[in-house]
Amino acid sequence: MTITKSLKNIFRSKTRSLLTMAGIAVGVFAVVLISTVGAAGTAEVSSTLMTMGVDTLLVQTAENSVSATLTENDVTEVSKISGVNDVMPLMASVTEAKMIDRRLDSYVWGVDKSADKLISLEAEHGRLINNADTAARAKVCVIDEAFALESYGRSNIVGKKLKMFLGGKFHEFEIVGVAKSGLSSLQNMLANIMPNFMYIPITTMQSLCGRTTYDKIAVKLSDPNSDSAIVRRVTDRLDELHGCKDGYECNNLLAQKGQLDDIMNIVTTALSLVAGISLVVSGISVMTTMMMSVGERTREIGIKKAIGAKSRDICAEFLSESVIMTLIGSAAGIAFGLLTSFIGCAIAGTAFLVNVKSLLVSAGAAAVIGAVFGAYPAVKAAKMKPAEALRM
């Protein structure tokens, strides 16, 4: 009954009320849009990094170490350490590839059959590097989907040839697989910054580069939360094997991903607060609307008081109208914000995520603004004396 009555009073002047609610809606829309896009962006980056193997530890020799190396025996010994789920040697190099007379900057990884476990590599077409490739030092490669699309305009180019610059000259490789692009939509946005990825057998890369050692060892943990203890065990074991001290360092990429997530959340929150300023500004229009409503309904207020309405009843009536008006505006803003975010995520090809906390905060903030800016007009209406109000 109270809500129905408040709605009737609000829409006595439809244009004025709609414009006031539109102001609230715009402010909430901005907050919801920023928070939702921020949540989707954070999730996309997080998913991308996890796909690239950020949930692993990367062990490498320390910069100031002379005697430290990484060999096949080190890989075997590290795999025996308690808490280690899987281990894979890695080699990496920025290089150039030639395909159908096009030169493309590339980042080539030397991997073995465990690549799909440690960096979530998944074949879109063809297959991945296997044991036979590694044993034969085969000149085969797996390229990411973005690389294929950039070269041929289609993803399935299994069986095609490319030339890769390694060890001082170009070598011809056969493409045996096309992997789902590890960077997805993020790679599209950073296409001019990040090179394309290629994967070849690590033994082939060693042979062509004239090396018997590895650049890094990727370590997959059974429990990512126990990384600090295992890091110490891994580096201590490698120091023991090579008779050195502090010869190895371990990069905890998962912790770095957490720091990146924190930074993105802070940026999203800051932008949402800036957008929220428009909510405060729209509160002024709420006060103006309610003041005009009080002026127009002076005689009505006088009559109500004359027949027994108390000051708190008049105050509650106008205050409820103010809060309901802002809630309607915030509901419209939330709806349009979610719709716009959904369409944007669909166009960008990213997952649509709803920041429920942000929605609740936006709706709560709108209600508070309605109460705060509607308080003065409500109190003014409540303080009117019946005799004076009836003379107006």
Map tokens 């990040």 to a residue: 194
Q: pLDDT confidence of 114, banded at 50, 70, 90?
A: confident
DSSP string, 83-95: TEEEEEEEEEEEE
With a cut of 80, say whether residue 235 has pLDDT above it: yes
Q: For residue 187, is pLDDT > 60?
A: no
Mean pLDDT score, 141-164 = 87
In the chain, where the domains are located: 2-48+259-391, 85-219
Residues 319-357 have pLDDT tens digits of 888 888 888 888 898 899 888 888 887 887 777 777 787
CA 204 to the chain's CA centroid: 36
pLDDT given at position 364: 85
pTM of the model: 0.55
pLDDT of residue 55: 58
Mean pLDDT across the stretch 129-142? 92
Structure confidence at residue 139 (pLDDT): 94
- DSSP-assigned letters across all residues of 215-261: SEEEEEES-GGGHHHHHHHHHHHHHHHHT-SS-EEEEEHHHHHHHHH
Per-residue pLDDT tens digits for 68-106: 888 889 888 888 888 888 888 888 888 888 887 778 888
> Rounded to whole angstroms, how far apart are CA atoms 58 and 215?
10
Q: Which of 358, 357, 286, 333 lies closest to 28 in space, CA to CA?
A: 333
Per-residue pLDDT at 191 exceeds 60? no
Q: What is the DSSP letter of 198?
A: E
- Distance of CA 190 to CAs 142, 146, 245, 355, Å? 21, 12, 40, 25
Q: Which of 384, 371, 246 is nearest to 318 (CA)?
A: 371
194 or 138, higher pLDDT: 138
